[in-house]
Structure 1
Amino acid sequence: MKKKVLIIENDQDIRHVVEFILHDHGFETMSIAEPDNLSEIIPFAPNVILLDEFINSKPGHRLCRKIKQVSGLAKIPVIILSTSNDIELIAKECDANDYIRKPFDIEDMVGKVLNLIDHQPLAY
């Protein structure tokens, strides 16, 4: 079964590039600019969520906090993507599991996604 990655990215070009890269590495993806409702992403059951820090001029870390409070999503690892200089602090404050600085290295991004998937507890 393919591992699933949800990409929440404001920039359509970046969203398509990340989706292409992850498909090329064998992942199933779903990509959206911004969820209207978090319940709409629960059925996809992602193994990891890649979340842009700037979503239509709203901070992505607020969405990260909301994700961590939804029972169907709370245990899914979140990786914050950002150009922000203080991305490490932002990720820590919203309980993200990791962060990736833009522009990103492809192998670094894929490695972080794989690392979080490999270290997920099994669901029983």
Structure 2
Amino acid sequence: MNKNKILVVDDDSGIGEMLKTLLEFYEYDVTVTAKPEETEKLIIAEKVDLVLLDMLISGVNGTDVCARLRNNPQMENIPVLMMSALHDAGTKCREAGANDFIAKPFEMDDLVNKIGVILESKAKS
């Protein structure tokens, strides 16, 4: 089976490693970075299928990263699932072009379900 590649962009290394471990259990191939400026480079290098992007990453707004991806012809179709503990962040994330949003703290089942739905709809399009 071809493993889908997920890029986790989160500056909390604990969360990044936890997500990597859990998503690998679900047979995803996971790369973690705490550096939002590496997002585009990693998407190309790793042939990423989905980006799991934190809204606030070491002084950078994840919505800016998402908007940059949407404005890049090479990456505009890469699904982005944003996450945040901020109240009302979902609207801002979707406005920036995120395919979906999940509030922290989240249940792992919810996250895996959202990822599955996004990747299925990407496969169909």
Question: TM-score, normalised on structure 2?
Answer: 0.91
Q: Distance in 2 between matches of 1:38 and 1:106?
A: 23
Tell me if the contact between 2:70 and 2:77 (Cα under 8 Å) persists in the aligned partners: yes
Equivalenced residues, count:
123
Deviation of the 1:43 alpha carbon: 2.1
- 1:13 aligned partner: 14
Q: Distance in 1 between matches of 2:40 and 2:85?
A: 28
1:71-90 equivalences in 2 (<5 Å): 71-90=73-92
- 1:61 aligned partner: 63
Cα deviation, 1:41-60, whole Å, max 9, x if unaligned, reads 11211111000001102211
- The alpha-carbon distance between structure 1 residues 56 and 109, as it changes in their structure 2 partners (threshold 3 A), is same
Runs of 4 or more, structure 1, over 2 Å off, are 35-39
Match of 1:81, as an amino acid? M
Q: Which runs of 5 or more structure 2 residues have no equivalent in the other structure?
A: none
Q: Which runs of 5 or more structure 1 residues have no equivalent in the other structure?
A: none
1:1-124 equivalences in 2 (<5 Å): 1-41=2-42, 42-121=44-123
Deviation of the 1:37 alpha carbon: 4.1
Question: TM-score, normalised on structure 1?
Answer: 0.92
* 78-87 vs 113-122, which moves further: 113-122
**Identity, % of aligned pairs?**
25
Deviation of the 1:34 alpha carbon: 1.3
Q: Distance in 1 between matches of 2:74 and 2:38?
A: 13
Tell me if the contact between 2:83 and 2:102 (Cα under 8 Å) persists in the aligned partners: yes
Cα deviation, 1:9-29, whole Å, max 9, x if unaligned, reads 110000000111100000001
